[in-house]
């Protein structure tokens, strides 16, 4: 099951769920309420310099910063910027690893006859996970290795890069150095 957005504290803030894990991340985003809201109410949801960090699978938007695609000739500054985003994006992978670690038994609990309840189970797990984070629970016992399925070569272009987003990314890159 696909999930979206978590914050820097590993709290899942957008629990849009129900797409199979094989669905491309960009397609899931494009069909989510978050995408619709962000596209129609960008300034309300992402005022000023606020944005979400995404990997190369996502389109560049003013509200969704992505690194530069490696066309074979990235500048040193573009490489630094992309690496900075990548390192900051690791929090989502840690959040997913924690979620999977906390609820690893739920993988075997889902009966094929009840598969339609899986999205509700995932959302419930996210809610409990968030509660655990807010409660400062001990997390070391839950950590499991996470397979890295971030495959930038499977980019699905759901829309062309937004010119304003290109300028915003350039401004952020300049601030990083």
Model confidence at 164: pLDDT above 70: yes
Q: Which residue has the higher pLDDT, 176 or 37?
A: 37
Across 66-80, 114-128, 132-146, 154-168, which has the greatest mean pLDDT?
Answer: 66-80
Provide the pLDDT for residue 77: 93
**Average pLDDT for 156-170:** 71
Res 142 pLDDT > 70: no
Residue that wins the pLDDT comparison between 144 and 11: 11
Please state whether the predicted TM-score (pTM) of the whole model is above 0.75: no
Give the DSSP per-residue string, the chain. Answer: -----B-TTS-B------S-TTS-HHHHHHTSHHHHHHHHSHHHHS-TT--EE--TTSPPBTTEE------S---HHHHHHHHHHHHHHHHHHHHHHHHHHHTTTHHHH--GGGGGGHHHHHHHHHHHHHHHHHTT---GGG---------GGG---SSPPPHHHHHHHHHHHHHH-
């Amino acid at each position: 099951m696909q999930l979206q957005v978590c914050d820097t504290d590993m709290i899942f803030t957008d629990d849009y769920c129900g797409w199979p894990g094989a669905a491309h991340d960009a397609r899931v985003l494009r069909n989510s309420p978050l995408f619709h809201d962000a596209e129609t109410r960008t300034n309300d949801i992402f005022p000023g310099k606020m944005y979400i960090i995404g990997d190369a699978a996502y389109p560049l938007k003013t509200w969704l910063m992505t690194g530069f695609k490696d066309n074979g000739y990235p500048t040193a500054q573009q490489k630094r910027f992309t690496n900075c985003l990548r390192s900051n994006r690791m929090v989502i992978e840690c959040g997913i690893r924690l979620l999977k670690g906390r609820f690893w038994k739920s993988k075997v609990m889902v009966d094929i006859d009840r598969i339609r309840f899986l999205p509700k189970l995932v959302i419930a797990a996210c809610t409990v996970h968030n509660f655990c984070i807010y409660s400062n629970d001990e997390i070391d016992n839950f950590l499991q290795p996470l397979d890295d399925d971030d495959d930038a070569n499977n980019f699905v272009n759901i829309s062309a890069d937004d010119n304003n987003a290109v300028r915003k990314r350039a401004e952020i890159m300049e601030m990083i150095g």
